[in-house]
Amino acid sequence: MRLKDRVAIITGAGQGIGRAYAFAFAREGAQVVVADLNEAKAKAVAEEVVAAGGRAIAVTVDVSDRHSVQAMVDATVTAFGTVHVLVNNAAVFATLTMKPFEEISVEEWDRVLAVNSRGTFLCCQAVAPVMRANKYGRIVNISSSVVQTGRAHYAHYVASKGAVWALTHALATELGTDGITVNSISPHGIVTEVPRGTITDDQWAGILADQALKRKGEVSDMVGATLFLASDDSKYMTGQTLGVDAGLRYT
């Protein structure tokens, strides 16, 4: 019960890794806000969490929109009284088509950065006053190993996650005096139920060859690290980016 009576907002929690976070946080005693752009998926996950004995509500949110994000935080405070934990999990990823950077349109670039970078910024900005009032907070941002590998044909995604990594360091400095920690996770090779057409079998073989652990990542591999950063187990850590990457070789 590492998160007993804590209130946690998890964005992008309607499926995949975010859904796993919702269940794991509830099992650890948190009151969970399942936030997602897809209202039906958010409600379904929240109902499943409640049916399993947890406490959860569903909130529809577009993280790229300031008013929508503020409404999410307001709904959380109305339901549970405060916010202790924010997991910035929502991102544009699985639907992206890999292409040379010259072929990425301005519209596609803006869409990816609006969700992945601006969305993280807006969510942090919206919860900060509540956390500052509490003199306590745990913010966990999700970056990516591609920031270090510079994966080709993914320039918009790499740039968006690089911004998340940098923002984590900046906010850790600004929020630390109020007892708020800000850390990020850099995952690699995590497979979810969400279809992805960006990696072929041959590419997977090459990826696994560069890993110390010779297997694909599972959703459960992300849960432990995220719970660690969301709980008081990591209370003396901030401004850090934790690699959950199977020992990926970056050089």
**Cα–Cα distance measured from residue 227 to residue 15, given in angstroms and rounded to the nearest whole number:** 18
- Asked whether the beta carbons of 245 and 187 are under 8 A apart, the reply is yes
List beta partners, residue 187: 244
Which residue from 86, 60, 62 is spatially nearest to 7, judged by alpha carbons?
A: 86
CA dist 200 → 29, 101, 204 (Å)? 39, 20, 6
Please identify every residue annotated as catalytic. Answer: 157
In this structure, which amino acid lies at residue 24? Answer: A
Which tokens in the block code for residue 49?
A: 């969490």
Strands 137-142 and 7-11: unpaired
DSSP state of 238: -
